């Protein structure tokens, strides 16, 4: 049976080309891999190879012809021993269908009220049990200890996490209790140990990857986003990567630009990740436990200046906080102030100041940045009609920018003032004490912003 040779598409964008030259003539026998012709595309000259052996029975498109559309028959190959005249009764080559063979009806995608995806989040039950006063540092350690006792597949890996007990002393006592198999000091090799963690996650373990700071995770961001974040989707749901990337994020104290940056909006941008940035001790503990149990990659952003703060923290090893819910840290009526991580503390202090001026601020601790709790923020703004979005990071394309967009989409008609952002200044963080203070949001900045939107 003779078969047609079709004008091939030789690049993702090629629609037509020129037959520059035939290298075989009619009647010549060809073997698989022999070059039949040269084709000029808009980008390059490419060779067309024979797929099967046979005889070049007929050249349909002569050389020199331009604008030959992809899939046009250009030659006929007859099987060996077949008459060259077989070209006359050829079987049409299976040609690319003009339309996809099965046109599935196109139901509209799930209705999205917002441009961002929202998902069902488990309810949060109010904890009424015993608490203990402890630092955030201890709450994080307890979360890891409890989860490591509960599940042998959980392990901690990172720089100085074992023998040194953690660069910020988060992993105190872990090596002693769990041994070197599960508390693993790495070389200084972020991309390597992050990718190793991702591979272990694919294999069904539950790694906690500690970054000494999230600044160093920039070395590993390809593994976090491309490997951990996208593989579930790219595998059609076959693969999972249950992994936690945690460590201090944002500023510290006088460590300058390369060690002081907030990555919240970087990671919150990416589907396939969950992103958490808590403030209180209970939230650090409950959310880290949720993150460790979560079947997805979770970026867990801590803050060096919060590690030493003390809170009442639930004592129950089954206490968890669901990822995806914001918390009303202080109810109020006149203005909504959103914040996360250390900025919650400043927002609470600002609320005290505002109260003295007769302005009642509702403080929302966002806690989770992806999936974002649109509902809680929108409900608050529909009550207060004003919003100030506070973050430590840079303003451009930040979490505050996203909140401004959400407000436009979700409560345009409820706003009595433009959305106001309070963010870090748009400069690399300076070292000098006075400049550093100027670069980072202060309580007075939040107070001023709230008064501005309240027109008081």
Helix-then-strand count for the chain, H and E: 12, 22
| Binding residue (CB under 8 A) for other proteins from 45, 114, 133, 172 | 45
Stretch that binds other proteins, among 127-135, 158-166, 227-235, 309-317 (CB under 8 A): 227-235
Q: How far is CA 327 from the centre of its chain?
A: 22
Q: How far is the CB of 238 from other proteins (least distance, A)?
A: 5
Say what angle helices 343-356 and 443-454 make with each other, to 10 degrees. 50
Give the span between the Cα atoms of 279 and 413, in whole angstroms: 31
Give the span between the Cα atoms of 397 and 215, in whole angstroms: 18
| Binding residue (CB under 8 A) for other proteins from 25, 89, 94, 128 | 94
Q: Tell whether residue 32 is a contact of other proteins (CB under 8 A).
A: yes
Which residues are known to be catalytic? 190, 259
Q: Residue 141: enclosing H or E segment and its boundaries?
A: helix 136-150
Q: Tell whether residue 323 is a contact of other proteins (CB under 8 A).
A: yes
Q: What is the DSSP letter of 225?
A: I
**Residue number, 234 or 433, with CB nearest to other proteins:** 234
Q: How far is the CB of 372 from other proteins (least distance, A)?
A: 13
Q: Tell whether residue 104 is a contact of other proteins (CB under 8 A).
A: yes
Stretch that binds other proteins, among 132-140, 220-228, 355-363, 442-450 (CB under 8 A): 220-228
Q: Tell whether residue 51 is a contact of other proteins (CB under 8 A).
A: yes
Q: Tell whether residue 263 is a contact of other proteins (CB under 8 A).
A: no
Contacts of 330 (CB under 8 A, 6+ apart): 348, 351, 361, 362, 363
**Residue number, 4 or 138, with CB nearest to other proteins:** 4
**Could you say which residues in the range 179-208 bind other proteins, by CB under 8 A?**
181, 186-187, 189, 191-205
Contacts of 47 (CB under 8 A, 6+ apart): 35, 37, 38, 39
Q: How far is the CB of 205 from other proteins (least distance, A)?
A: 5
In the beta sheet, which residues pair with residue 157? 184, 209
Q: Residue 197: enclosing H or E segment and its boundaries?
A: helix 190-202
**Could you say which residues in the range 268-297 bind other proteins, by CB under 8 A?**
271-272, 274, 290, 293-296
| Binding residue (CB under 8 A) for other proteins from 47, 402, 409, 436 | 47
Residue 217: CA atoms inside 13 Å, Cβ hemisphere, count? 29
**Residue number, 73 or 332, with CB nearest to other proteins:** 73
| Binding residue (CB under 8 A) for other proteins from 42, 66, 83, 96 | 96
Report CA-CA distances (Å) from 58 to 4, 18, 67, 78: 9, 18, 20, 9
**Residue number, 98 or 434, with CB nearest to other proteins:** 98
Contacts of 106 (CB under 8 A, 6+ apart): none
Q: Tell whether residue 115 is a contact of other proteins (CB under 8 A).
A: no
Q: Tell whether residue 401 is a contact of other proteins (CB under 8 A).
A: no
């Amino acid at each position: 049976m003779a078969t047609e040779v079709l004008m091939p598409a030789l690049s993702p964008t090629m629609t037509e080309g020129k037959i520059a030259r035939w290298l075989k003539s009619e009647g010549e026998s060809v073997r698989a891999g022999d070059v039949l012709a040269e084709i000029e595309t808009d980008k390059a000259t490419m060779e067309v190879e024979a797929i099967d052996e046979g005889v070049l029975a007929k050249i349909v498109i002569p050389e020199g012809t331009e604008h030959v559309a992809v899939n046009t028959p250009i030659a006929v190959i007859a099987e060996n021993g077949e008459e060259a005249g077989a070209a006359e009764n050829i079987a049409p080559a299976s040609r690319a269908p003009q339309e996809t063979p099965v046109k599935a009806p196109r139901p509209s995608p799930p209705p999205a009220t917002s441009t961002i995806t929202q998902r069902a989040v488990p309810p949060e039950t109010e904890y009424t049990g015993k608490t203990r006063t402890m630092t955030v540092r201890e709450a994080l350690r307890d979360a890891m200890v409890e989860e490591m006792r509960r599940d042998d597949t959980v392990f901690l890996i990172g720089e100085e996490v074992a023998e040194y007990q953690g660069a910020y002393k988060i992993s105190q006592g872990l090596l002693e209790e769990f041994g070197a198999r599960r508390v693993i000091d790495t070389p200084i090799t972020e991309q390597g140990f992050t990718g190793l963690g991702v591979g272990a996650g694919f294999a069904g373990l539950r790694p906690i990857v500690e970054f000494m700071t999230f600044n160093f995770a920039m070395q590993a961001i390809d593994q976090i986003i491309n490997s951990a974040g996208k593989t579930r989707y790219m595998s059609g749901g076959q693969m999972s990567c249950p992994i936690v990337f945690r460590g201090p994020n944002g500023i510290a104290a006088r460590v300058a630009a390369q060690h002081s940056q907030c990555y919240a909006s970087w990671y919150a941008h990416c589907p396939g990740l969950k992103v958490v940035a808590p403030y209180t001790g209970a939230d650090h503990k409950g959310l880290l436990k949720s993150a460790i149990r979560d079947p997805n990659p979770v970026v867990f952003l801590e803050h060096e200046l919060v590690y030493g703060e003390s809170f009442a923290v639930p004592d129950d090893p089954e206490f968890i906080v669901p990822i995806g819910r914001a918390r009303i840290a202080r109810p109020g009526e006149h203005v909504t102030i959103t914040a996360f991580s250390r900025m919650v503390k400043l927002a609470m202090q600002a609320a005290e100041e505002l109260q003295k001026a007769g302005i009642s601020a509702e403080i929302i601790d966002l806690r989770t940045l992806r999936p974002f709790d649109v509902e809680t923020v929108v409900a608050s703004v529909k009550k207060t009609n004003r919003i100030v979005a506070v973050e430590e990071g840079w303003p451009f394309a930040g979490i505050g920018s996203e909140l401004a967009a959400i407000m436009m989409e979700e409560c345009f008609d409820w706003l009595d003032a433009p959305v106001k952002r309070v963010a870090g200044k748009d400069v690399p963080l300076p070292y000098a004490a006075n400049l550093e203070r100027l670069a980072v949001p202060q309580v007075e900045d939040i107070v001023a912003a709230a008064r501005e939107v309240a027109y008081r």
